[in-house]
Amino acid sequence: MPIVEVQNVSKRFALRRRRHALLSRRGLAHLLRLGEKEQFAALDGVSFTVEPGECVGIIGQNGSGKSTLLKLIAGVTLPSSGRVAVHGRVASLLELGAGFHSILTGRENIYLNAGILGMRHAQVAEVYDSIVEFSGIASFIDNPVDTYSSGMYVRLAFAVAAHVNPDLFLVDEVLAVGDEEFQRKCRRRIAEFREQGKTILFVSHDLGMVHSLCERVILLHKGKMVVRSNPQETIKYYMRLVGNPKGVHTLAKGDVEVVSNNGHMNLFYQRKELTGGQGLEGKLRAMQQDHHTSSADWEIATSGPDQCVARGRMHRLPVTHVWTIKIEGKTVIWRMGIECRNPVPIDLIEANLLISSQYTEWVYGDLSGVFPEILPEDTEWNAVVAPDVMANEAAALPREDSQLPTVLVDVKHHKPYMRLVWANTDSATGCRVLQANARVPAADEEFAAGYHDLLTFHIQLGLTREEVRRKVTEERSLKLGALTAVFEHGRIRLNYGDTLLTTLVHAYTSMLISDLWNDSINLQWGAVEREGDRLTISGYSRRFPFRQIWELEPVENGFSWRVLLEAFEPIDVQEYHASIILRQEYSRWRTDHESGIFPPFEPGVEDWRHLNHSYKPGLHITASGDEIPDVTLEADPEKGLPRMTPLNTGAGQRGRVLQALHTADTCLIHYEPGTHLYSSTRIIVKPREDS
Amino acid sequence: MAGWNYSSDRQRQVRRIFPELLRSRELLLDLVSKELRIRYRYALMGFLWAFLEPLLMTAILYFVFGIVFNFRGGATTPAMYAVSLLTGLVFWQFLSHTLGAGARSLVDNGNLVNKVLFPREVIPLSVVGVNLVNLLIGTAILLGLFLLLGGRLGAQAVWLPVLFGIELALVVGLALLLSSLNVFYRDVSYVVDVGLILAFYATPIFYDFRADVFPRLVEHPWLYYTYMMNPMVGLISSYRQVLIENQPPVLELVAIPAIQSGIALVVGAVVFRRKAGIMSDYL
């Protein structure tokens, strides 16, 4: 049964909807139903249903009847004709703090407000503690709310609203009011409701949010419903309805289609949109103010089937954006430039490519990984890649079952301080984002009058996964039968066939100097040198005067991993290790002295817990599991035997660790300037012998 | 989700008033207690005001009419004139305070009506509730004073709840009617304010119906019937009769207000319910 039924609903208002006076001509005449009333139809024959668990967006221009529709569904007003029915409890973010009175205490207001929202005392009492805790103002709860700060007031109101537990949640333009923090909380709450499978009706101007949150979009235009097949179509139609058609141009060539629409750009591959939200958009910041490209006045200057030049004149900056867009084969080339009419100080340049959350793996220079899930509590854009790594090339791979193409982006920046970052957007927008940004140094802030190139994106679509991987990893890989070892910025990722054996930071080294752990992933790594099957890479520490040189060379069933330490000044090392972090499917371990299991991960149990009892030095440590090959870390006897230690990482980040640990038993390990062989191990991977 | 079904075509049904109000009884009590708390929390003497107001009014009326004009209003002794004044005042003020605040109540709570769905009757009814509490205090003072000044409560006092029931129906009906009309025509509340001042004089409060009005108006039937249109005439006279004189009320003086109250209640409830659904369009 649908939770909301709207059947042929119209709502008309008398055109002069003023407050009459009874003793005026209009008043008495109106009361006696004399005189014709001019009417205005806010809604006209609107029909739809909403099923439980759906999230439906309502969009439309101002005055198109969106708010009236929400009011009708909330039951706050009645339709002039037609029928609205709701089966379940309704709550809306509009009701925040309804009935709050400043003289009453927080406690009294909780009961009153919840009562107005339809809760009984007994129900409020059940969640009372939880409301107080959520609000975080327990110690003020018996003070009158007029002693509260506005932040506390909103928190309390929000806490009550958050506990009403409605079946249907109505969200109006509320996200446009309140401070940043409040908006973020609202967004988080909406995402949470979405997670819990509640039904949401959502009115917003934020099309990106509507697009990512809603399965279905209802477009109202002058009180009538405009029906389109899916949210994308509806939003596109809406943008054409409100947008300036002069600023829209569609390029197409083969499988690739690009819609440049008034300062943002959506990309399609085989008719599927791979961009999310606003797609590709630029931003400039001048004098602490953000200027989005989509707020400019756009015009297509020259256009062809597979290329165009779009010009967007900004209103508040003497700048005209010039976008040159071209499709070459399966590559979209987008050049972002600006034409300054006067000298302009610009302190930030940014371009964001928002892509669908169906992309789950990222590649960034010589790094790769999996995008973290976007959680409801993510209310800001979170960088996925460490900001101190620089690369010009990045790629994203979609989920296996997705029909979206791979995306490989090569960014040419015309300003030296440009950086590229993979990030997740907030949970409301729900997209991955490749951001190119540049904080312009103060000395360069002044952009002279004339044309400036800022950025060029080469976006290559539809390569196979292998092609993408090869393009970005081939140079850095050792192919050893079924085993592939990929060097990635201070760590080695191990694949066996298609199975990834390692996790988190994979195989890496760390050294303790002056009580500070120096992980190899934090060194600054240079380019990979390759001589036949032998890889050499060196990474400099930014903290201490040394560098590590890694030498990887194939051996039978694996490879040797020699780590040389080049000290530029004398260094004292307290201890150091080479470790492999394996996936949690590894369940057993074995050293030369004993064997055991990796216990399950328990919250509360200390991170990096040692599982062995014998600390005698040894030659081998092996981990095994079901249906995965054994992994052995083998010490080089010439180098001196380390302690072979199995560990579990913490419950938060789950991995099984094999560690070859060198400790200074009596005093510090002292290195004179020069190059020293410091760790020498082999990593051997072979299928289990007994199977 | 039983109990949370909403259908727009049922909202105007008058018979839904009772189940809806029953479900919202806690909200009604909450709003009453909120109003009382707000009213008395920061007032220096708190609830004492509720005692002082009718007493001070009685004192000033007694001074003007009892002492300056040496008027008795049909009462046997000066002391009983004071009791008679207080009787009139307590029950009159219940009506006048409720209607004065009640007429404005929906407009005052506009942002609530505009945001949340709940039976709109709750808002004017909460005003009735608040004034009921004040009436309770007033009645206690009245009975106290009556007994203190040598009065004795007779058997006819059993009529008091009946009379009050009639007045309550009248007040509820009018509060519903006036509050809903005020949403659509904002001058209704001003008309009510002026009307209540006029009605104060057209109601036997500081004078007596049988002693002062009846003998003089009996020769002017037109004026007399107009005067009798005021339901409080019969009610206040009857309150005095059963309380002070321990006599059964005159049938006519109870029946006319009872019929008027019944009509007011039905008209008020129906008009209110018919308009409740679209009030938010005008707030």
Per-residue pLDDT at B13 exceeds 50: yes
Per-residue pLDDT at B10 exceeds 90: no
pLDDT, residue A337, reads 92
What residues in chain A have their Cβ under 8 A from chain B's Cβ atoms?
A: 9, 13, 17, 19-23, 27, 31, 71-72, 74-79, 82-90, 92, 94-95, 98-99, 101, 103-104, 108, 111-112, 115-118, 120-121, 167
Torsion of CA A378, A213, A74, B98, to 10 degrees: 20
Chain B residues with CB under 8 Å of A85 CB are 5-8
pLDDT, residue B1, reads 35
Chain A residues with CB under 8 Å of B280 CB are 71, 76-77
| Gap between the Cα atoms of A445 and A441, Å rounded | 6
> pTM (2 decimals)?
0.61
- Answer left, alpha or beta for residue A119, where phi above 0 means left and psi between -120 and 50 means alpha: beta
Chain B residues with CB under 8 Å of A95 CB are 115-116
Which distant-in-sequence residues (6+ apart) come within 8 Å of A270 by Cβ?
A255, A403, A405, A462
- Answer left, alpha or beta for residue A76, where phi above 0 means left and psi between -120 and 50 means alpha: alpha
> What is the average per-residue pLDDT within A479-507?
87
Strands (E) across A240-330 are located at 248-253, 256-261, 264-269, 272-273, 275-286, 289-292, 297-303, 307-313, 319-328
pLDDT band at A6 (very low <50, low <70, confident <90, very high): very high
Which distant-in-sequence residues (6+ apart) come within 8 Å of B174 by Cβ?
B99, B102, B264, B268
Chain A residues with CB under 8 Å of B123 CB are none
pLDDT band at A385 (very low <50, low <70, confident <90, very high): confident
Between residues A287 and B227, the one the model is more confident about: B227
> What is the average per-residue pLDDT within A414-430?
77
Distances (CA, A) of A337 to A230, A281, A455, B156: 34, 13, 7, 97
CB-based contact A116 B9, cutoff 8 Å = no
pLDDT, residue A198, reads 85
Q: Read off φ and ψ for residue A327, nearest 5 degrees.
A: -110, 125
Chain A residues with CB under 8 Å of B37 CB are 103-104, 108
pLDDT band at B2 (very low <50, low <70, confident <90, very high): very low
Measured between CA atoms, the residue of chain A closest to residue B9 is A83
Partner-chain residue, chosen from A71, A86, A95, that has the shortest CB–CB distance to B6 = A86
CB-based contact A103 B186, cutoff 8 Å = no
Partner-chain residue, chosen from B38, B41, B116, that has the shortest CB–CB distance to A95 = B116
Number of Cβ within a 10 Å radius of residue B116: 22
Measured between CA atoms, the residue of chain B closest to residue A108 is B34
Measured between CA atoms, the residue of chain B closest to residue A109 is B34
Pick among A9, A94, A105, A116 to test the B interface (most B CBs inside 10 A): A116
Chain A residues with CB under 8 Å of B184 CB are 19-20
| Gap between the Cα atoms of A201 and A217, Å rounded | 10
> What is the average per-residue pLDDT within B46-68?
86
Per-residue pLDDT at B92 exceeds 90: yes
pLDDT, residue B253, reads 92
Q: Read off φ and ψ for residue A27, nearest 5 degrees.
A: -60, -60
**What one-character DSSP code corresponds to residue A88?**
S
- Tell whether the torsion through CA atoms of A181, A184, A185 and A186 is positive or negative: positive
Per-residue pLDDT at A691 exceeds 50: no
In chain B the first and final C-alpha atoms are separated, in Å, by 30
> What is the average per-residue pLDDT within A383-392?
68
Pick among A78, A94, A124, A147 to test the B interface (most B CBs inside 10 A): A78
* Nearest CA distance, A169 vs chain B (angstrom): 13
Partner-chain residue, chosen from B8, B114, B187, that has the shortest CB–CB distance to A85 = B8
% of chain A at pLDDT higher than 70:
89
Q: Across all residues in chain A, what is the average pLDDT?
A: 84
The predicted-structure confidence for A264-322, as pLDDT tens digits, reads as follows 898 989 878 888 878 899 999 888 788 888 888 888 888 888 889 999 998 888 999 99
- Give the ipTM: 0.85
The predicted-structure confidence for A330-357, as pLDDT tens digits, reads as follows 999 999 999 999 888 888 899 999 998 8
Look at A77-81, A148-152, A269-273 and tell me which has the smallest mean pLDDT.
A148-152
Q: Across all residues in chain B, what is the average pLDDT?
A: 90
Chain B residues with CB under 8 Å of A75 CB are 6, 8, 11, 117
Which distant-in-sequence residues (6+ apart) come within 8 Å of B194 by Cβ?
none
Q: Are A469 and A476 in contact (CB under 8 A)?
A: no
> What is the average per-residue pLDDT within A553-572?
92
Per-residue pLDDT at A388 exceeds 70: no
pLDDT, residue A657, reads 93
* Nearest CA distance, A543 vs chain B (angstrom): 59
Q: What are the start-end ranges of the H helices in B120-230?
A: 122-148, 159-184, 188-201, 214-217, 221-228
What stretch of H or E contains A645? strand A643-648
CB-based contact A75 B4, cutoff 8 Å = no
pLDDT, residue A37, reads 60
DSSP annotation string for A19-30:
-B-TTSHHHHHH
Measured between CA atoms, the residue of chain A closest to residue B278 is A77
CB-based contact B113 A76, cutoff 8 Å = yes
Residue whose structure tokens are 């083969």? A254
The predicted-structure confidence for A580-633, as pLDDT tens digits, reads as follows 999 989 999 999 999 999 988 887 776 788 888 888 889 999 999 988 999 999
| Gap between the Cα atoms of A78 and A88, Å rounded | 18
Per-residue pLDDT at A690 exceeds 90: no
Per-residue pLDDT at A35 exceeds 70: no
Pick among B10, B23, B27 to test the A interface (most A CBs inside 10 A): B27
Chain A residues with CB under 8 Å of B34 CB are 99, 101, 104, 108, 112
User: Which span out of A170-184, A244-258, A438-452, B240-254 was modeled with the highest average pLDDT?
Assistant: B240-254
* Nearest CA distance, B115 vs chain A (angstrom): 6
Q: Are A281 and A346 in contact (CB under 8 A)?
A: no
- Interior angle at CA A37, CA A35 and CA A39, nearest 5: 170
pLDDT, residue A459, reads 93
Between residues B196 and B154, the one the model is more confident about: B196
Please name which of B32, B37, B144, B125 lies closest in space to residue B86, comparing C-alpha atoms. Answer: B144
Partner-chain residue, chosen from B34, B114, B277, that has the shortest CB–CB distance to A112 = B34
The predicted-structure confidence for A631-689, as pLDDT tens digits, reads as follows 999 998 888 888 999 999 876 778 899 999 988 776 678 889 999 988 899 999 998 76
pLDDT band at B60 (very low <50, low <70, confident <90, very high): very high
Partner-chain residue, chosen from B5, B185, B277, that has the shortest CB–CB distance to A77 = B277
pLDDT, residue A326, reads 93
Which distant-in-sequence residues (6+ apart) come within 8 Å of A162 by Cβ?
A131, A134, A189
CB-based contact A104 B113, cutoff 8 Å = no
